[in-house]
Structure 1
Amino acid sequence: MAKRPVVAVTGPDRGGWVAWAFTALAVWRAGGRPLRIRPGRSRIRNDRLPGIDALVLGGGADVDPGRYGQNPVRLRKELAAEKRHPGHFLIGLILFPFIHILRKLFSLAGSPGPDPKRDALEERFINHALNEHLPVLGICRGMQFLNVRFGGTLHQDLSVLEEERPNLRTLLPRKPVTLLPGSLLHTVFQKDETRVNALHHQAVDRLGEGFRVTARERGGVVQALEHSAAYWLVGVQWHPEFLPHKRRQQALFRALVRAAQEKSPFRK
């Protein structure tokens, strides 16, 4: 009987345990064996990467804006904009404590600023996956980092996009997104539209080389990417790991594991 394919799951050194637990559960349910990878515990020995069969880039701290030629944006634009809209400002003021607690509980924000060590680690693993033609799934920050790795840029402050005001933050699948017909995601979900959760404050701006947008929300913000040249390279802006009760979200992890199984016989 073939062994379960090893799926490396990246995350921060501090926090991230809830996201790891949910992702590990999704990978195991899909038939894979999850392996936690962090900057301080990368399992890299003598400049050699561990034997992995697939890669999941998890959520967390913002990608260093210096990687795509920008300086950090101070999020004062949102406050200035909301002052011109008293209703939006009041709603934001009321919901801020709950959103803050939610993000802390699920360790989505990671450290207060960029995490250069994690950026460097994930770039190394992406390069390894590309060289070995391994399937890769980027989740939230993971999708954003993939886009930056291929020369793309990000919107650092999503609130400045009129389409996203007020920006919906929810763990529940409430945000509708449209899937591109013929894309891998469309094949996995077997439908033209689906609802996803929303826990991000940044988004893809200019596409990285080789990527195409395969899902958008109604305001036009990018919700998924796929690479045209890589073996299996998909990024989603939402968090499918936090929707274990949704069959189509779990199907995304099954597709990842299946791609790993089709790539190699895994040490039978």
Structure 2
Amino acid sequence: MTARPLIGLTLDAEQPGGYSKLPWYALRQNYFDAITAAGGLPIALPHDAALADDYLDRLDGLLVTGGAFDVDPTLYGGGPRHETVVLKEGRTAFEIAILRGALRRDIPVLGICGGEQLLAVALGGTLIQHIPDSVPDALAHEQPNPRTEPGHEVALTPGTLLSRIVGAPAMAVNSAHHQAVDRPGEGAIVNARAPDGVVEGLEHPGYRFCLGVQWHPEYTVDPRDQAILDAFVEAARQTGQGRAAAA
């Protein structure tokens, strides 16, 4: 029986209040369930940038999750911070450290929502700080209907990794973001766009598996979402097998 590849998932962080009177971590259960369903062994990654390499010594794949916050524009030369931008400096410091480390080691990476945006920044790209101020006639990317339902469709770029994984020209996706990728970074390519032109996915063909999507495939609002998670976990499995063979 083939061992499950070890997949690290980044956590969200919250200040005291609600669940605990002390600072606490959180992540929706369906992130973990989706990785398990794809054949992976998910583990949670607390925010300690100094431990990034120790985590990466053990991980076969890295999933950078989303959250209700933004990437600091100073990380990509984005100019003054828009009034809508919310930061979580500790989380971002850890995520950028472990993400850049994973890229250096060519460990498979999947960025979801804010994780896709951070992936663009790690690759040298830039972001749109607030879609309504930058995209004329933009869709409601903060969809008013539940996240368990699609908000709009995306068109996939033919010939990309994402297109090959999905096997279709378009997907229905959920949408929960006010920022988006502007430039994907040197060597990276856009693999999905919304009807208003907003970037909805990116990838970098120079890595074993380097993929980001703006939506949340862990909800499987489109039946093809599972294929994205399956492909990521399979790439991580191959990484783990290669590591074991070299040991």
TM-score normalized by the length of structure 1: 0.78
The answer for the alignment partner of 1:224 in structure 2 is 201
The answer to whether structure 1 residue 49 and structure 2 residue 55 are counterparts is yes
Conserved? CA contact 1:3–1:267, under 8 Å: no
How do 1:25-44 and structure 2 match up within 5 A?
A: 25-39=33-47, 44=51
What amino acid sits opposite 1:65 in the alignment?
A: P
Q: Distance in 2 between matches of 1:53 and 1:166?
A: 36
Residue 159 of structure 1 aligns with an amino acid whose one-letter code is P
Structure 2 runs not aligned, ≥5 long: 15-23
Q: How does 1:122-137 map to 2 (within 5 A)?
A: 122-137=95-110
Partner in structure 2 of residue 239 of structure 1: 216
Q: Aligned partner of 1:247: which letter? A: P
Counterpart position of 2:238 = 262
Q: CA 1:134 to 1:68, structure 2 compared with 1: closer, same or farther past 3 Å? A: same
Give percent identity, aligned residues only: 36
For the residue of structure 2 that corresponds to 1:163, the secondary structure is: coil
The residue aligned with 1:22 is 30
For 1:254, the aligned partner's letter is: D
- For the residue of structure 2 that corresponds to 1:187, the secondary structure is helix
Higher RCO (Cα < 8 Å, 6 or more apart): 1
**Residues 195, 165 of structure 1: alpha-carbon distance in 2 compared, 3 angstrom cutoff:** closer
Alpha-carbon spacing, 1:222–1:156, altered in 2? closer, same or farther (3 Å): same
Q: Relative to structure 1, is the Cα distance of residues 167 and 142 closer, same or farther in structure 2, using a 3 angstrom cutoff? A: closer
Supply the distance in 1 between the matched residues of 2:139 and 2:73 (Cα, whole angstroms).
23
Contact 2:139 2:196 in 1 (8 A): no
Distance 1:159 1:16, change over 3 A: farther
Q: Secondary structure at the match of 1:162?
A: coil
Contact 1:163 1:220 in 2 (8 A): no
Counterparts of 1:193 and 1:165, CA distance in 2: 17
Q: Describe the SS at the equivalent of 1:176.
A: strand
Structure 1 counterpart of 2:138, which letter? E
Q: Distance in 1 between matches of 2:101 and 2:139?
A: 38
The structure carrying a bigger helix percent of its residues is: 1
Bigger Rg over Cα: 1
Q: Runs of at least 4 residues of structure 1 off by over 3 A?
A: 15-18, 165-168
1:248 to 218, 221, 224: 224
The alignment yields a C-alpha RMSD, in angstroms, of 2.2
Answer whether contact 2:173 2:222 (CA < 8 A) is retained: no
Give the direction of change, closer, same or farther, for the CA distance of 1:222–1:33 in structure 2 (3 Å limit): same
Distance 1:8 1:201 in 2: 26
Aligned residues: 228
How far has the Cα of 1:220 moved from its partner?
A: 0.4
SS of corresponding position for 1:114: coil
Return 5+ residue gaps in structure 1 as ranges: 76-111
CA separation of 1:152 and 1:248: change in aligned 2, threshold 3 A: same
Query: 2:157 touches 2:163 (CA, 8 Å); kept in 1?
Result: yes
